[in-house]
Amino acid sequence: MTSDLNQSFPLRRGRVHEVFGPAAFGFAAVACAQAAGDVLWISEGWRAEQINPLGLVAFFDPARLLLARTKDQTEVLAVAEEALRDGCIGFVVLALTRPLDLREGRRLQLAAETGRATGLCLIPEGMGSNATQSRWQAAPLFAADTDSTLMRWQIIKNKAGTLGVWDVRWDGAAHRLDVVSAVAERPRSSPAPA
Amino acid sequence: MWFPRLPSDRVLRLRPLEGPFALTQRQANTERLYCVNLQARRLGLQRAMSFTDAHALCPDLISQPADPPADARFLASLRRWATRYCPWVGIEGGDGLVLDVTGSAHLAGGEAGLLADMRARLARAGIAVQIGLADTRGAAWALARHGEGVAGAGQGLAAIGGLPVEALRLEAATVVALQRLGLRQISDLAAAARAPLARRFGPELMLRLDQALGAQAEQISPQQEPPHYGVRLTLPDPIGLTEDVMAGTARLLDQLCAKLKAQEMGARVLQLTLRRVDQASQQVDLRLAGPMRDPARILPLFARGVDAADAGFGIDQIRLEAVQVEPLATEQTSISLHLREARGGPRKDGLEDLITRIGTRIGLENVQRFLPADSHIPERAFVIAAAAYSAPESGWVCLRPRPLTLFAPEPVNAAGPRPPREFRWRRMELTTVRATGPERIAPEWWLEDESWRHGLRDYWRVETRQGRRLWMFYTPQNPGWCVQGEFA
């Protein structure tokens, strides 16, 4: 179950992907940082949790970011479809609260294909759509050595490639993603902490 | 054309009432009368009289505060109305119009017919007017304000000679001085020697006299019509198909954009009115993310709104108006830009169009971006602005580590100034392994903020064994712990 992260990340262009887990925002920030062009972040207006542009500085320039606040999830999807199809925005992040049905998921995929843009859905756990290209689980990890942004990324669904688990860390100074080690290749392979 | 009681006429047109009426204006701490109607005037009330005096004279006086800007707007609309008589109409002071009817009087049946028509129409509208007609502007002014009349061609001094000197548009001090000299009428002034008068009163007195008598030319500057960005299309037969309406809209857009281009303007808000055969009308509003005047780009943006409009029994008139316009200079299109776009490079226009399209669905103010702000308070270190009305700003500086997400502070059960070893947050048991801090942030005392009423905050970056990296703060002045954000 070892594979190269570079085969699955950066996320494949022209497709829509999914991520969940406590470090989903971190995953999205890294994905945005590695995408070209502007970023559109769509979320429902009632959400209390919001992104902090100063926290984003370590990942990418917040001037690239556009926000869209909508009334409900239907509008989130409509706006996302519009933006993906248009193609002048390179990366679209959608914060979702209820599962997509196959029709909605497929529509997003088709829109992304038309516009050659990449989409990323932040989904609640266990609410993935069958139409997604890949589904990731991201969780923060405690790093014993230094202050860091160590995360465990696990790809649990992949339409074009193998699954895998990686421990990664974002290098804020170099704006680069470092793979610390593939989990299975650790010298002392131990079960992951709960 | 002089409107002696324009402000009160305007108000009384909207709310007719019998009896004395006055508009008041506050000047230097006193309510003073600004304009009185005819009944009030008969009772001896005058402009600039103090309101308490007026009330003593006339206990049943009805009054209302004056609104000079509305009067100015009213006068401007009267000016537009007056262009029915001749094309050259200017505004004279705050309560008059000046018309150059040379060559257009015969259209209304000669000068007498013209004056009768003006008087009749204004009387029907309830506006008092005094009209003077003369072959110079100065003489017409004098006649309008001091005993109406018509001065025929060439009989300048004969017509206005009997009027008092204040009819010459002079300053009050000059008028008083002239009266002291015994020069009470214009004919006296005209008969007097010019040189000593010019020495004593300066060139203005003689200029005004010459202007009134026609020795010195004076022009009427007509006010420019503000360009009107509206076009309409009336159809012989009603239409109902979306494609047909879009085709009509395209035709109108071409006209409108040509108009905008001539003025170097770009539309910001467009309004498409579809009038149906049953006289009801549907409106499609389009708010653009940037000023625009390219029909090919604007047309697709209307598609959604037109699609949603209800044609009913058919649409027989389409009207398109640019409700809000902004200056948009002509841009030179460069070949290199075209090439880059042709190769699939990023298009700046494309993003604006997209914002507009998204804006028509969720509201243009809901498409936003972050702009940096100058504050240490984490939630005020940025502002959220509507993307359509702001430009992206770089220059983000982050000196200290800041979390990726921010939320309203969530209290945590813990005590003491050091971060707790173990705590519960969002129903999770967390164990602190490493804590970095504190970073003390003081509230901005010049701003009232409910969420900062607990005073100073000591922020810590708390790393837990479970992986979560939290941004917590302790409030020393009001002991307690809260979680406010989460790091990546």
Domain B1-129 fold is MutS, DNA mismatch repair protein, domain I (3.40.1170)
CA distance A5 to chain B (A): 19
Q: Which residue of B has its CA nearest to A60?
A: B396
Of A5, A91, A2, which is closest to residue A41 (Cα–Cα)?
A91
Of A48, A70, A88, the CB nearest to B366: A70
What is the pLDDT, as a whole number, of residue A194?
45
What is the pLDDT, as a whole number, of residue B483?
93
Amino acid in the structure at residue B149: G
Residue A75 placed within a domain: yes
Give ∠ CA B309-B312-B317 in degrees, rounded to 5.
75
CB contact under 8 A, A68 and B368: yes
Residue B340 has φ and ψ, to the nearest 5°, of -65, -40
- Relative to beta strand B422-425, strand B469-474 is unpaired
What is the pLDDT, as a whole number, of residue A114?
93
Both structure tokens of B254? 């071409």
Report the number of distinct structural domains present in chain A. 1
pTM value is: 0.67
Of B346, B351, B468, the CB nearest to A140: B468
Cα(B350)–Cα(B372) distance, integer angstroms: 25
* Burial zone of B471 (CB within 10 Å; 0-12 exposed, 13-18 middle, 19+ buried): buried
What is the pLDDT, as a whole number, of residue B19?
79
Residue A149 placed within a domain: no
Determine contact: B433 vs chain A, CB below 8 A: yes
CA dist B362 → A39, A70, B206, B359, B454 (Å): 18, 6, 66, 5, 37
Length of chain A: 194
CA distance B334 to chain A (A): 20
What is the pLDDT, as a whole number, of residue A110?
94
CB contact under 8 A, A61 and B396: yes
Residue A103 placed within a domain: yes
Can you give the residue range of the structural domain that contains A126? 9-135
Domain B230-342 fold is Dna Ligase; domain 1 (3.30.1490)
Determine contact: B441 vs chain A, CB below 8 A: no
Residue with tokens 């992986």: B467
Residue A177 placed within a domain: no
Predicted ipTM > 0.90? no
Residue A141 placed within a domain: no
What is the pLDDT, as a whole number, of residue A22?
92
What is the pLDDT, as a whole number, of residue B342?
59
Three-state DSSP string of chain B: CECCCHHHHHHHHHCCCCCCEEEEEEECCEEEEEEECHHHHHCCCCCCCEHHHHHHHCCCCEEEECCHHHHHHHHHHHHHHHCCCCCCEEEECCCEEEECCCCCHHHHCHHHHHHHHHHHHHHHCCCCCECEECCCHHHHHHHHHCCCEECCCCCHHHHHCCCEHHHHCCCHHHHHHHHHCCCCEHHHHHHCCHHHHHHHHCHHHHHHHHHHHCCCCCCCCCCCCCCCCEEEEEEEEEECCHHHHHHHHHHHHHHHHHHHHHCCEEEEEEEEEEEECCCCEEEEEEEEEEEECCHHHHHHHHHHHHHHCCCCCCEEEEEEEEEEEEECCCCCCCHHHHHHHHCCCCCHHHHHHHHHHHHHHHCHHHEEEEEECCCCCHHHCEEEEEHHHCCCCCCCCCCCCCCCEEEEEEEECCCCCCCCCEEEECCEEEEEEEEEEEEEECCCCCCCCHHHCCCCEEEEEEEECCCCEEEEEECCCCCCEEEEEECC
Determine contact: B397 vs chain A, CB below 8 A: yes
CB contact under 8 A, A25 and B404: yes
CA distance A2 to chain B (A): 23
* Burial zone of B242 (CB within 10 Å; 0-12 exposed, 13-18 middle, 19+ buried): middle
Per CB-CB distance under 8 Å, the chain A contacts of B468 are 22, 140
Cα(A154)–Cα(A163) distance, integer angstroms: 8
Low-confidence residues in chain B, pLDDT < 50: none
Determine contact: B408 vs chain A, CB below 8 A: yes
Of A49, A71, A151, the CB nearest to B407: A49
Interface test with B, best of A27, A44, A54 (most B CBs within 10 A): A54
What is the pLDDT, as a whole number, of residue A1?
44
Residue with tokens 């009819």: B167
Q: How many CB atoms lie within 10 A of CB B105?
A: 18
Both structure tokens of A50? 């919001």
Of A22, A68, A139, the CB nearest to B358: A68
Domain ranges of chain B: 1-129, 230-342, 405-486
CA dist B459 → A135, A183, B96, B429, B485 (Å): 35, 33, 68, 21, 10
Domain at A40, CATH number: 3.40.50.300
What digits encode the pLDDT tens for the residues B285-316?
A: 888 888 888 888 888 888 888 888 888 888 99
What is the pLDDT, as a whole number, of residue B459?
93
Split chain A (194 residues) into runs of 10 and give each run's mean pLDDT: 76 93 93 91 89 91 92 92 90 93 93 93 91 93 79 92 89 86 53 49
Determine contact: B466 vs chain A, CB below 8 A: yes
What digits encode the pLDDT tens for the residues A2-11?
A: 568 888 888 9
Per CB-CB distance under 8 Å, the chain A contacts of B353 are 86, 88
